[in-house]
């Protein structure tokens, strides 16, 4: 067999992929032993693989960002309901409640689910389920709700800032 590139030379090796004959000079060009065409092909395949891997990684990252955003939106929607309920309750207790106070309670209401979430997260570190009685959970729920109103405000602000930054990252990714 002759070298594929140099027809005057005797082949000393063959391309590992396509089996073309290669002379000593051609055989030493690529490691493992490949002809130019196959070496270029393999390199291109590898580059494409790297590219699609990078794209998949980007896609996953973006999905995670979108998840963070939709989680925030869901929590705000929940908060709006709590806010309406809270304003309605306060208004029925104190009929001469000012508009500013209504707005304040509405804001507190929006924050409540954010505080509630943090408390639920903290709660997972304590084996509370051993207190399995009905009244424990009722009292616990009321305390948790009260605490949520306080913790909720910084939690809401923190999540709001985080979501704005997330949105900017999403925009940058395009
Ligand atoms: Zn080849
Ligand atoms: Zn050759």
Cis preceding-peptide flag for 32 (omega within 30 of 0): yes
Ramachandran area for residue 19 (φ above 0: left; ψ -120 to 50: alpha; else beta): left
User: Each residue of 6-29: pLDDT tens digit?
Assistant: 999 999 999 999 999 999 999 999
Residue 158 parent element (H or E): helix 134-173
User: Each residue of 154-167: pLDDT tens digit?
Assistant: 999 999 999 999 99
Ramachandran area for residue 18 (φ above 0: left; ψ -120 to 50: alpha; else beta): alpha
- What is the 41 CA–ligand 1 centroid distance (Å)? 9
10 φ, ψ (degrees, to nearest 5): -80, 140
pLDDT at residue 168 greater than cutoff 80: yes
- What is the 54 CA–ligand 2 centroid distance (Å)? 37
Please give the torsion angle defined by the CA atoms of residues 104, 106, 107 and 110, in that order, rounded to the nearest 10 degrees: 160
- What is the 67 CA–ligand 1 centroid distance (Å)? 47
**Tokens 């304590």 — which residue?**
126
Dist CA 3 CA 172 (whole Å): 52
pLDDT at residue 76 greater than cutoff 80: yes
- What is the 12 CA–ligand 2 centroid distance (Å)? 9
pLDDT at residue 130 greater than cutoff 80: no
User: Each residue of 84-127: pLDDT tens digit?
Assistant: 999 999 999 999 989 999 999 999 999 999 999 999 998 888 87
Q: What is the mean pLDDT of residues 57-74?
A: 93
% of the chain beyond a pLDDT of 70: 99
Range with the lowest mean pLDDT among 3-12, 27-36, 51-60, 122-131? 122-131
């Amino acid at each position: 067999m002759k070298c594929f590139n140099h027809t005057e030379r005797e082949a000393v090796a063959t391309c590992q992929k396509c089996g073309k004959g290669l002379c000593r000079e051609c055989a030493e060009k690529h490691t493992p032993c490949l002809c130019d065409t196959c070496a270029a092909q393999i390199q291109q395949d590898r580059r494409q693989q790297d590219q699609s891997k990078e794209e998949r990684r980007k896609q996953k990252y973006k999905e995670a960002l979108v998840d963070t955003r939709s989680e925030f939106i869901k929590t705000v929607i929940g908060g709006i309901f709590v806010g309406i309920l809270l304003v309605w309750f306060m208004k029925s207790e104190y009929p001469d409640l000012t508009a500013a106070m209504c707005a304040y309670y509405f804001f507190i209401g929006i924050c409540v689910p954010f505080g509630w979430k943090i408390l639920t997260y903290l709660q997972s570190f304590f084996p509370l389920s051993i207190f399995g009685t009905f009244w424990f959970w009722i009292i616990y729920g009321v305390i948790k709700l009260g605490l949520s109103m306080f913790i909720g405000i910084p939690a809401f602000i923190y999540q709001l800032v985080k979501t704005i930054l997330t949105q900017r990252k999403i925009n940058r990714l395009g």
